[in-house]
């Protein structure tokens, strides 16, 4: 009897140990996957995470006949604020911008910090028809620009940064990398032309027009928006 009870106890202990080890392994695996796809400072997706999920979002929206915007955001004046007020203030700005972008993207959209002070979002719009997408995009870009450039409060002090935004209407005919490149060209075209809107080159054109040396943090009262209208 004692031998049977001892064997049963050992069996239960072994099972409990196996279950604990499996739980620990799954937890570590989930943590590793999260670290590989998320920015450690802001908690937003990193570039790898965005590339992994964006195509599925674009495909799903296309099946529902809903427009998808891919937008790049480059902060203006961030380095000056970071240098003057310190890295804690800079980190607070970055985490606040990431949170605002997550709110803009919505629960079905994607918000990403690509690196430094560059961000991206991929999300669907409220336009019920693809034919209305241009109108929606034209009104949406100034809206998100206003939200992103609202001063950030840090220790009771308002800290202001600008933003340059380039956007593309995406479809499943090309992978997300193409739409990111298109939005990138739009963003840099807006900076070079110093206009509130700019039209990027077609998505299949090599993005050779992007400047090799970035002109950063130019003194100006506002930042630039670039809207891309793709051919039907």
Separation between Cα atoms, residue 109 and residue 100, nearest integer Å = 13
Among the listed residues 41, 58, 173, 56, the one whose alpha carbon sits nearest the alpha carbon of residue 114: 41
How far from 178 is each of 3, 55, 170, 189, 206, CA to CA, in Å? 68, 11, 9, 17, 10
Question: Which is catalytic among the residues 39, 74, 117, 184?
Answer: 117
Side-chain half-sphere of 96: how many Cα atoms within 13 Å? 20
DSSP assignment string, 154-222: ETTEEE--EEEEEEEEE-TTS-HHHHHHHHHHHHHHHHHHT-S---PPPTTS--TTS-SS---S---SS
Spatial neighbors of 196 by CB under 8 A, at least 6 apart, are 190, 222, 224, 225
Ramachandran region of residue 80, left (φ > 0), alpha (ψ -120 to 50) or beta?
alpha
Asked if 217 is an active-site residue, the reply is no
Separation between Cα atoms, residue 112 and residue 115, nearest integer Å = 9
The catalytic residues are 117
């Amino acid at each position: 009897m004692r031998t049977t009870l001892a064997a049963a106890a050992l069996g239960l202990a072994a099972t409990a140990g196996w279950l604990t080890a499996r739980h620990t392994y799954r937890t570590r695996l989930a943590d590793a996957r999260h670290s590989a796809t998320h920015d450690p400072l802001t908690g937003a997706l990193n570039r790898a995470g965005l590339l992994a999920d964006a195509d599925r979002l674009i495909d799903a929206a296309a099946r529902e006949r809903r427009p998808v915007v891919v937008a790049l955001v480059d902060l203006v004046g961030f380095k000056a604020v970071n240098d003057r007020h310190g890295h804690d203030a800079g980190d607070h700005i970055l985490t606040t911008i990431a949170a605002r972008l997550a709110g803009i993207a919505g629960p079905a959209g994607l918000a990403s910090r690509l690196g430094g002070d560059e961000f991206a979002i991929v999300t669907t719009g409220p336009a019920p028809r693809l034919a209305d997408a241009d109108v929606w995009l034209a009104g949406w870009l100034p809206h998100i620009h206003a939200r992103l450039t609202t001063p950030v409060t840090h220790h009771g002090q308002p800290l202001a940064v600008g933003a340059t935004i380039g956007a593309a209407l995406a479809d499943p005919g090309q992978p997300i990398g193409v739409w990111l490149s298109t939005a990138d060209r739009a963003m840099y075209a807006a900076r070079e032309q110093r206009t509130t809107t700019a039209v990027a080159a077609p998505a299949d054109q090599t993005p050779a027009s992007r400047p090799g040396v970035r002109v950063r943090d130019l003194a100006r009262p506002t930042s630039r928006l670039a809207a891309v209208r793709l051919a039907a």
